């Protein structure tokens, strides 16, 4: 393509090698830009036609902006001439609006009612009526069939407010070091360091043996005989010694345990405890009941009622920490063969060591149930066992023979026949829970009964280990830090009340 006339001769050779704009119209040639000696550059930008330079638009004609619609008459011109500038609009559509409402003649389907109209209408109403009646009946019978313990049937047996200290007419203090059948790691004492009343509250307070008895070596060569020991077996439960070679240690903690045995017991009635549970790893608070006379034999043949049990570990403990409480019934024909019926309640944003709560047992021949702050969380309907022509023995589904591992001291046991001990002793349908029970309150430390499961948390011992207590004692520096002050680590009882079912 030849160079455009109007460019300088010095730029002509360069412009010959460039692609020219597709515009060589007379408009551009006549413009001032054509006579100026400006460099011409190629561009890769693309623009809409309306924004391109006139010389770059793809038309050889002169571009003009779009004309706006206007009425010439507004500018003083002849109105008749303005019709040429107005755009023609489409005629309006025919209206679909009815000119008048429809009459019955226009709706022939209304002249006669459709078949089964009345039937479907009344059938719907009838079903609604049946639903309301069923809901009302469900609410009524659900309310009237709930077993309620009438307060007028209760006779007060004990009302302990701790205003004058620990009432000796109600309580016994247990002093021993035998593990209480659970392999517990504490001794119990009547010392004012472990059992005292403050602000009309009973404190069961655990202490460290190394602090209470600094002159006793709990790991090797130490000996401890409990003054005023109440255990029947003085050799096994009243003394403790440590031997490094044998792995024997003196219990590393001292606590307290009280009961109402021989003083206050009930056979059916109500028990109400207001208490604040302790805080600290491996603390085991419990308020529970055992039979006064063991009518059907030693534990568990005569049963056990646990009003409240808990663990002092924090909420992160996966074995249910101090934000859980549990109640249970325990019974069975052998120590190696027993049944546990239990229920629990938990707190989502708090724990039971942060405030006082009321724990209640209601016990009649028809039912046994537990409450926390008037909220039912565990209940066994004993009368339903009677209606099903069964009892606690049938509920246990025990085998005909079993191993009695308590028969000797080796732990091997022997095979024994399993008999219905309650029927043989003319027990009631709710046996063994048909006899007087007394109350126990204690704060244990650790143990080998399985209450603290192996491998859960930072547990330093195994239940079946021969050196379980020693392993626990060696970990004292860690668990003792979690116990806190006196108010935190103590089981605190504010009141204890017992009612019997009046005859």
Catalogue the active-site residues: 304, 309
Residues 194/207, Cβ–Cβ less than 8 Å: yes
The pairing of beta strand 172-173 with beta strand 257-259: antiparallel
- Considering just the CA atoms, what is the radius of gyration of the chain in Å? 47
Cα dist from 152 to 145, 264, 372, 502, whole Å:
19, 20, 22, 9
**Residue 311 · residue 347 · CB < 8 Å:** no
Token pair for 206 = 């655990």
Distance CA 219, CA 171 (A): 34
Preceding amide of 409 cis, omega within 30: no
Q: Is 396 exposed, middle or buried (0-12, 13-18, 19+ CB in 10 A)?
A: middle
> How far is it, in rounded angstroms, from Cα 21 to Cα 40?
10
Among 468, 440, 444, smallest CA distance to 177 is for 444
Q: What is the DSSP letter of 26?
A: H
What is the b/e burial string over 334-352, where b = at least 16 CB atoms within 10 angstroms of the residue's CB?
Answer: bbebbbeeebbbebeeebb
Count of all residues that appear for the chain in the document: 503
Q: Let me know: does 159 contact 497? Beta carbons within 8 Å.
A: yes
């Amino acid at each position: 393509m030849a160079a455009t006339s109007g460019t300088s001769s010095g730029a002509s050779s360069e412009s010959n090698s460039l692609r020219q704009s597709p515009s060589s119209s007379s408009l551009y040639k006549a413009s001032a830009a054509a006579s100026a000696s400006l460099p011409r550059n190629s561009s890769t930008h693309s623009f809409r036609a309306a924004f391109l330079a006139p010389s770059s638009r793809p038309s050889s004609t002169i571009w003009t902006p779009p004309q706006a619609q206007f009425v010439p008459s507004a500018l003083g011109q002849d109105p008749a001439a303005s019709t040429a500038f107005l755009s023609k609009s489409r005629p309006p559509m025919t209206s679909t609006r009815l000119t008048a409402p429809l009459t019955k003649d226009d709706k022939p389907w209304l002249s006669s009612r459709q078949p089964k109209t009345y039937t479907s209408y009344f059938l719907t109403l009838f079903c609604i009526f049946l639903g309301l009646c069923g809901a009302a009946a469900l609410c009524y019978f659900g309310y009237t069939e709930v077993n309620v313990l009438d307060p007028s049937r209760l006779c007060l047996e004990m009302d302990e407010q701790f205003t004058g200290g620990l009432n000796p007419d109600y309580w016994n203090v247990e002093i021993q070091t035998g593990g209480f059948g659970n392999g517990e790691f504490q001794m119990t004492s009547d010392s004012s360091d472990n059992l005292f009343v403050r602000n009309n509250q009973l404190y069961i307070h655990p202490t460290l043996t190394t602090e209470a008895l600094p002159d006793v070596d709990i790991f090797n060569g130490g000996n401890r005989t409990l003054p005023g020991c109440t255990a029947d077996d003085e050799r096994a439960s009243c003394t403790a010694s440590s031997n490094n070679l044998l792995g024997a240690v003196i219990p590393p903690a001292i606590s307290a345990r009280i009961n109402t045995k021989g003083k206050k017991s009930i056979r059916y009635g109500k028990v109400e405890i207001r208490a604040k549970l302790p805080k600290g790893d491996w603390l085991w608070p419990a308020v529970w009941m055992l039979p006064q006379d063991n009518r059907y034999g030693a534990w568990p043949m005569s049963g056990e009622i646990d009003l409240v049990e808990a663990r002092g570990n924090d909420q992160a403990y996966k074995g249910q920490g101090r934000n859980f409480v549990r109640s249970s019934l325990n019974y069975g024909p052998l120590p190696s063969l027993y049944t546990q019926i239990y229920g629990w309640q938990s707190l989502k944003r708090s724990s039971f060591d942060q405030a006082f709560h009321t724990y209640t047992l209601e016990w009649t021949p028809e039912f046994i149930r537990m409450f926390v702050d008037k909220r039912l969380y565990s209940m066994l309907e004993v009368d339903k066992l009677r209606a099903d022509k069964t009892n606690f023995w049938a509920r246990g589904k025990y085998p005909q023979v079993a191993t009695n591992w308590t028969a000797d001291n080796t732990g091997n046991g022997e095979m024994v026949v399993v008999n219905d001990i309650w029927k043989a002793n003319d027990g009631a349908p709710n046996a063994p829970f048909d006899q007087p029970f007394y109350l126990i309150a204690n704060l244990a430390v650790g143990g080998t009964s399985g209450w603290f499961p192996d491998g859960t948390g930072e547990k330093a011992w195994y239940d079946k280990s021969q050196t379980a207590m020693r392993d626990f004692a060696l970990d004292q520096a860690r668990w003792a830090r979690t116990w806190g002050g006196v108010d935190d680590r103590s089981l605190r009882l504010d009141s204890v009340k017992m009612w019997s079912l009046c005859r």
